[in-house]
Amino acid sequence: MPGGSGRSVASRSLPVAVLCVLAAALTVAGSFIPLFSGELSLLGTRQLSIGITAWGFDTDAPTREGGVAVNGVPLVFAAVLLLVAAALVLFTARASGAARRGLGAASVTGAAAFLAGTVWTVGMQAASWVDTFRPTGDAAGDSDVGVDAGLSAGMWLLIAAAVLALAGAAWALVALLPAGERAEPVTPRYGFPAQQAPRQPWEAGRPGATPPPSPQYPGAGPEEGQGPANRA
C-alpha cells in the first residue's frame, strides 16, 4: 500500500540521516583537535613540541616559522554537505516519486565521497609530517636525541567520520533506491482472486458432467437426438 511503503522508506532513511549527522559532527570536531603531534627531546629534556590541526599549528619553540595547509575549510564544507544530505534524505523519504528519493541517496553519496577525498588528502599530509619530524643524518643514530611523533586524535576522528559517511552512502544506495522497492510483491487492489476448481471433462452417460458446446451454437449443449439415451 502507498502509505505503508512511505513509512517503510522513512524508517530506512532515518539511519542514513543519523550516520550523516554523526559524520559531520566528527569532522568538525576532528578539524580542531591536533591531527599530528611531535616532541623533540635532548638528554631526556624536552626541547620543543608541536601540534598541527586543520587550521594551523601550535608550538612552544622560541620562533614560529613556516606554515601548514589550512584544511579546515574543505572539512567544514564537507560537514555542511553531510547535513544537507541528511535533510534531503528525511525530506524526500515520503515523496511519491522515486526520482526524489534517488536525489537523497545521490546527495549522501556525493557528500561522503567529498569527505573521503578530503580526509585522504589530510592523511597524506599527516604522514609526510611524521616523516619530516624524524631526525636525519648523525642525529638519527644519536641516543641522546629523542623524537616522538605520530598521528593524533584529530586524524582518527576524521577517519572515523569518513567511514561513517561511506557507510551511510552504502546504506542509502541499498535502502533508498527504487530498485529495492520493485523487488517487493504487489498486492492486488481488491485482494487475491478466488480459486476455482477446474472443470471436469465431459463423458457421455456420466451424471453431473458439463456437456461440450455444440459446433453450430457454442453456448448450447449437445444436439437434439444425440444424447446417450437416443443413441442407445
Instruction: Write down the pLDDT at residue 149.
Output: 82
- Residue extents of the structural domains in the chain: 2-33+68-139+151-179
94-146: per-residue pLDDT in tens? 765 566 667 888 999 999 999 999 999 999 999 998 888 776 665 566 666 67
* Contacts by residues 93-99 (CB-CB < 8 Å, ≥ 24 positions apart): 93/6, 93/9, 93/10, 93/12, 93/13, 93/176, 94/6, 94/9, 94/10, 96/2, 96/6, 98/178, 98/181
First to last CA, the chain: 61
Instruction: Please say if the pLDDT value at position 28 is more than 90.
Output: yes
Instruction: Please say if the pLDDT value at position 232 is more than 50.
Output: no
Q: What is the pTM of this model?
A: 0.68
37-84: per-residue pLDDT in tens? 888 777 777 777 888 899 998 877 667 666 788 999 999 999 999 999
